[in-house]
Amino acid sequence: MEKESLARSIAQHSLVAGMSDEHVDFLSGCVRNVRLDEGQLLFREGQRADELYLIRSGKIALEIHDGARGTIVVETVGGGDALGWSTLFPPYRWGLDARGIHLAHLFAIDGACLRAKLEADHGFGYAFTRRLLNEVHSRLQRARLQTLDVYRARP
């Protein structure tokens, strides 16, 4: 995909929507397209986190493996979601596994490239981080509700 067309596609993603053309162009220099097949592992806990993903379509399971309980799916993510905060913060290692449930298409943003651009242009850095923070806020709210186990039967 040509850079211009790639930038137009990225601009459709909810994390990027509303960003200036200049910032989208700036970001698109770090982006490549990725296809994740059903059952395919995107990343594994402990491995180096070197890409942030914007999911365009499909469904991906975030899994944690426990020796006693086996594999536990903690959340599924899909079109419009962003995945891979670990690529922004040291030590840049994945905290869980991500596996395709249904064929998924993603934009992969190179972590080192993104971090350099966030530092190089603070206007872009603010716009991007603000969107990311909104996503993290939503994720945190959901995680809190999930932790409460509200559907457990109580007398």
Give the span between the Cα atoms of 142 and 155, in whole angstroms.
25
Instruction: Specify the residue, 102 or 105, whose C-beta has the smaller distance to another protein.
Output: 102
Q: What residues line the site for another protein (CB under 8 A)?
A: 59, 61-63, 70-76, 78, 80, 99, 101-102, 141-142, 145-146, 148-155
Q: Under 8 Å CB-to-CB from 31, ≥6 apart: which residues?
A: 6, 10, 107, 108, 109, 110
Half-sphere exposure in the Cβ direction for 23 (13 Å, CA) = 18
CB of 65 to another protein, least distance (A): 9
Helix%, strand%, coil% for the chain, nearest 5: 35, 35, 30
CB of 129 to another protein, least distance (A): 20
CB of 76 to another protein, least distance (A): 5
Instruction: Specify the residue, 73 or 120, whose C-beta has the smaller distance to another protein.
Output: 73
Q: From the CA atom positions of the chain, what is the Rg in Å?
A: 16
Name the one residue in this structure whose structure tokens are 């909104």: 134
Give the span between the Cα atoms of 58 and 35, in whole angstroms.
10
Instruction: Specify the residue, 5 or 146, whose C-beta has the smaller distance to another protein.
Output: 146
CB of 140 to another protein, least distance (A): 12
Tokens of 95: 């905290």
Instruction: Specify the residue, 2 or 68, whose C-beta has the smaller distance to another protein.
Output: 68
Tokens of 2: 């040509």
CB of 91 to another protein, least distance (A): 26
Instruction: Specify the residue, 25 or 75, whose C-beta has the smaller distance to another protein.
Output: 75
